[in-house]
């Protein structure tokens, strides 16, 4: 029986390498460009990325904990916004010029630039339900998995 690459990935946990991926096709680009403001086609783009995260649902306490990787950032560098049930983490990290010195990067994997990550939280989650803590480059958010019931308000007809 023939298996697809997706089935092999799910079974082994190792993602197959795509020979046409941006990383493989444009490896030479990092050798000649430090700012990467142009994409491979030559279009201007704003450099953004999404920070990696872990999400844990605690069944015993009915809480959700989300941890974001934000190396080198301080709490003043990060904004947390809640609009309706949309939670947005955003900010900007800059490249560390001290580590570069007078040389040029031959490999640069640490992301920098503007970042944002959007998540949907349960309806009825209030800003005061969210608790945020920043420590050692990790932003940890905690909120109730099931917020207090939001009951409809009956409007009398006159």
- Three-state secondary-structure class, residue 55: strand
Tokens of 44: 């201007």
Tokens of 148: 């207090």
pLDDT number for residue 120: 92
Query: Nearest-CA neighbor of 48 among 86, 96, 80, 90?
Result: 90
**What does the longest C-alpha to C-alpha distance in the chain come to?**
77
Domains in the chain and their CATH numbers? 1-45 (no CATH), 48-147 (2.60.40.790)
Residue 9 clears pLDDT 80, i.e. is over it: no
List pLDDT tens digits, range 13-70.
444 444 444 445 554 554 444 444 444 554 555 567 899 999 999 989 889 999 999 9
Mean pLDDT is highest, among 73-77, 95-99, 148-152, for 73-77
Cα end-to-end distance, the chain, whole Å: 70
pLDDT number for residue 8: 46
Say if CB 140 and CB 66 are below 8 A apart: yes
Tokens of 149: 């019931």
Beta bridge partner(s), residue 56: 65
Say if CB 126 and CB 147 are below 8 A apart: yes
The band of 152, judged by pLDDT with boundaries at 50, 70 and 90, is confident
Residue 126 clears pLDDT 70, i.e. is over it: yes
List pLDDT tens digits, range 94-116.
876 666 667 777 887 777 889 99
Phi first, then psi: what are they for 123, rounded to 5°?
-60, 140
């Amino acid at each position: 029986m023939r298996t697809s690459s997706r089935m092999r990935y799910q079974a082994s946990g190792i993602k197959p390498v795509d020979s046409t991926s941006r990383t493989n096709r444009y490896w030479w680009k990092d050798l000649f460009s430090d700012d990467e403001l142009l994409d491979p086609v030559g279009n201007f783009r704003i450099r953004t990325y999404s920070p990696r995260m872990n999400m844990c649902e605690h069944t015993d306490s009915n809480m959700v904990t989300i941890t974001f990787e934000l190396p080198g950032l301080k709490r003043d560098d990060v904004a947390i916004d809640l609009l309706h049930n949309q939670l947005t983490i955003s900010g900007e990290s800059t490249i560390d010029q001290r580590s570069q010195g007078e040389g040029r990067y031959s490999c640069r994997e640490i992301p920098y630039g503007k970042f944002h990550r959007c998540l949907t939280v349960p309806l009825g989650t209030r800003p005061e339900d969210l608790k945020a803590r920043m420590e050692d480059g990790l932003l940890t958010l905690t909120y109730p998995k099931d917020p207090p019931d939001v009951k409809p308000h009956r409007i009398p007809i006159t």
